[in-house]
Each structure stands twice: as C-alpha cells, then as structure tokens.
Structure 1
C-alpha cells in the first residue's frame, strides 16, 4: 500500500532546515546579517535582516495546530520587531483556515511565488536511481570536506544570486560539517560545478540548495546529487525525503522539478507563498 509523506512533517522539516542553515552560523556572521529565529508552537520563523533578497525571511511549519489570525499576527510582529522589510509565510493549502482571505486582508499579506512541494520514501528514490541519466564521465560526485567549504558555498550562493553582502557566503560555508547536514558537490577536474545539501532530522530529510553552474547543466549533475543525498538520508535512518522547487507556469519547464520526479519524488501539492510587507 502506497504511503505519502505527512504534510506536517514535511513542512516542519523544511523550515527547520532553513532556520538551522541561518542560525547555526558563527555569532559574528549572525550579528553581521541580523539573523534571528523564534518558535510559535510547531511553527518557526527566521529572519536574515541584511539579506536584500529577503529570501531567508520566512515562517513555516504550520498545520499541526490551527492557523489562526492571532498566530499569524504574532509572527508578523516578530518580523516587524526584527526589522525585516518583507517576509514569507509557507503554509500548505490543506492547513489554510476557511477565513484565510479575511486574515490576509487584515494583516496585509499578498500572494507571492508558487512552489511545488515534493516528497517520497527514501527507498523509492534509491530504487529509481537506475532509471535516471548517468553522470557525465568527465564529472565526479562526492561529499564536501571543510577545506572546500568556501568554494562550495560560492557556487551555491552565486547560482542563486545571494552574493551581497559577503557574509551571506560565510553563512552558507559555515554549514559544511555541521551536525544534521551533509553537503555534496560535483567536480570537473578539481573545480566544483554543482552543489547540494541534505538536512537530516529524525525520520525526514530535506533536500536543500541544489545548484549547478551553467557549464555543468544537462550533464546529470543534479540527478547524481539527488541520489547521493538520498543515500545519506538512508544511512541516517530517514524514512522520508522532502523537497520544494518553483511551480511551472504554462509554457515553462523547471528542470529541477523534472529531475526530482525522475528520481522518485511525487508532487504533493502546490503552495502559494504569502508575503508580509514591513
């Protein structure tokens, strides 16, 4: 009988990955970037105040308790108190209350980008590895050692456009070797051309930060990184894998989404990002 990743577990693991990625940085980096987080029952909010993209200013993990106007208002107050200019709420559609339109109107939340939430059992992903594109023989995949942390982080943050301020790359580099994380890279000769992390938390693992430089695309790098991370999750005793990527509009093709579908992930739902404006 087919089983599906529980919504609450997937949402909670995702936001815990984002929070740990930011708040686990050294104190000097946290201070330079204005990093902070706060728990709201099962939900969790994190801010990186000096990140101009506001990508890391987010709240998630909702759904295991009712989502109420009072709860959402408390999270908005946290963002305001931390000096965030903008932040996002990630809430699975099934967890939105009937009066969600009234809550968004009252608190000034607007619709932002849509993401596809994906999940599968770890064994399913590993069983699918024989059917995915082989890695280009000129490339190799493997874990990242602390001595390559800065190079690894630079590839990740540059690909996603998170290059300013410089402490953003310091934040990413500090994740290499941290408990509950494994980082992988694809090398061409001695140069890193693709990267990916996996956050290992209990029975669920979150795929995080998969990125490939332009010259590495179409060569099987991300599929190899997905398999490497699924293998790490299995070794850590994780039953489930969770991931997210941008939803496709008509006529669009998200390569990351289709790589994950080929690797055994299934679409769970599309989730709207609800944006709070400071």
Structure 2
C-alpha cells in the first residue's frame, strides 16, 4: 500500500471520528455549542461557534478524493463565515498541500498553528504495563459518567461537550472503554472502526489517577478488539511536544508499537 493511500485512510478515520462526536450531540448540546457540519470535497467541515476550547471547529480529511485548491479552501472558509465561527483549525496531510498553498492561505487569512503527529501501526496485540485498575467496556448506563471523565481528563468544561461526547456510546462501529478504581471511573477511551482502520479517537485520565497504567491498558484493550475485528491499521494523533519525550500520550503509543507516520501542521483561520 502506498504512503499516500495510508495517509488517506488515516486522515479519513480521524475525520469520521470528529464527525461522529459532533453529529451525535443531543439538541441542547447542539444549541449550546452552536454546532454545524458539512461534508465537502471528500472531507468534513465542523463548526462549534460557542466552543470556548477552540478545539471542535475543524476542517480535515481533504486532498485525496479531490485536490486541495483555492476554490475548496474558499468554500471551507465561507462555511465558517456563514456560521459566525470565531476561529477554526484546518488540517491537511502534508502530501496534499498544493504548490500555491502559501498564496492560498495568505488570501484567506490562514496562519500557522501548532504541529500534530499522526501515528499508526499494523493491527495486532500490544503489551501493556500491569495495573490494578479494572478495564472494561462502557455501556449506555455509564455513558454520561464516561463522557464526563473523558472531557475533564482533557481539561475541557463539561457543559455541552460532555453531552456531545456521550452520544457516541453505543453507536454502530464505536466502543467506549473505561478504567475503574473500585467503583470510581477514572479514565476513558474510545475506538471507532472505519473499514480497514481502527481509530483511537480520544483517551484521557483524571489528574489524580495518572501514572497508574490506565492509558497503556486502554491502548491494549482497544488493540485486542481491533485485531479481533480484522482491521489492518491502528491510527491515532496527538500534539507534537516542544521538548522531545514530554508528551505522555505519544510516549505510551510509541511504547506499544505505534510509529510516527508524519508530522502535520495545523492551520488557523480567523475571519
């Protein structure tokens, strides 16, 4: 499989995960966050007009079904203007950026943001450190509790965002997992299957319970499920640390056999 084809699958799986989160939100969360979404040119454009975290307004998954052009970028930014979105992050795999990208982004007011790394590995079992925490699948009865832990673990406010996240629990192709300390849910993670890809679409641990092996175990249980379902690739993404080795999420994934496939520049649009 070519590197471009692998990148296409990895970007598609990430885009579908974010689409799933934002399009699973109940009506009160849609209104509170100002959610709107659109499929465009093979990718997705997502707007959360009232999101105080500046995380959920994203455009991604582009450049494989059709090329990234000035017209496509203008359609993306027009959608955000129509929605009244205060800012958005545009994410393109480096291989799909056109030669005239600098001219396009200057015209549209797009500036450089942070850098993420896309990591992946062939499906298979992974080793995890021992943990006294109980790792198990999360059902509908614990969906709100699971979403609360996931959101708080990322340092995000719960209002609206937790209700949105809870909507993926029990959806087709999604599985939610948790780590319990006794009766207390202390870590959360999710898995989305999109064809050949198992997308590790979000995982966090509450601050007081970090360093106890929860995320290593949650990586392992998701890898086992993906292998059982016969997918080919495991995929995830995380921020590139300014100092090598200080991103614990990235460190956990590298220890379990994930490899950095490419670095991806984030691009920030503001009206």
Can you give the 5+ residue segments of structure 1 that lack an aligned partner in the other structure? none
> Is 1:219 aligned with 2:212?
yes
> What is the number of residues matched between the two proteins?
270
Deviations, residues 88-135 of structure 1 (Å, cap 9, x unaligned): 111111111111111111111011111110011112xx1x32xx322x
Matches within 5 A, 1:1-278: 6-64=6-64, 65-123=66-124, 126=125, 128-129=126-127, 132-134=128-130, 136-137=131-132, 139-163=133-157, 166-250=159-243, 253-278=246-271
Cα deviations across residues 5-45 of structure 1 (Å, max 9, x unaligned)? Answer: 70011101101100111112223332332211111121111
Structure 2 CA distance for aligned equivalents of residues 190 and 219 of structure 1: 16
TM superposition outliers: structure 1 runs of 4+ over 3 Å: 1-5
C-alpha separation in 1, matches of 2:214 and 2:7: 29
How far off its partner does 1:55 sit?
A: 0.4
| 3-state secondary structure, aligned to 1:197 | strand
C-alpha distance in structure 1 between counterparts of 2:91 and 2:4, whole Å: 20
**Structure 1 residues 235 and 251, CA gap change in structure 2 (3 angstroms):** closer
SS of residue in 1 equivalent to 2:129: coil
1:4 and 1:188 map into 2 onto residues whose CA distance is 42
Distance 2:27 2:161 in 1: 13
CA distance in 2, matches of 1:110, 1:25: 30
TM-score normalised by length of structure 1: 0.92
| Secondary structure of the structure 1 residue equivalent to 2:51 | coil
Q: CA deviation at 1:252?
A: 5.5
Partners of 2:196 and 2:217 in 1: how far apart? 22
Q: Whole-Å Cα distance in 2 between the matches of residues 66 and 160 of structure 1?
A: 34
Aligned equivalents of 1:235 and 1:48: distance in 2?
A: 35
Residues 27 and 261 (structure 1 numbering): CA distance in 2 closer, same or farther, change over 3 Å? Answer: same
Question: Structure 2: which 5+ runs fail to align?
Answer: none
- Aligned 8 A contact 1:4 1:120 in 2: no
Counterparts of 2:71 and 2:3, CA distance in 1: 34
State how far apart, in whole Å, the 1-side matches of 2:254 and 2:138 are.
Answer: 25
What TM-score, normalized by structure 2, do the two folds share?
A: 0.94
Taking the aligned partners of 2:73 and 2:16, their CA distance within structure 1 comes to 18
| CA–CA distance in structure 2, aligned partners of residues 248 and 5 of structure 1 | 27
For residues 214-239 of structure 1, the C-alpha deviation after alignment (integer angstroms, 9 at most, x for no partner) is 22211111010011111222233321
Q: Distance in 2 between matches of 1:36 and 1:46?
A: 6
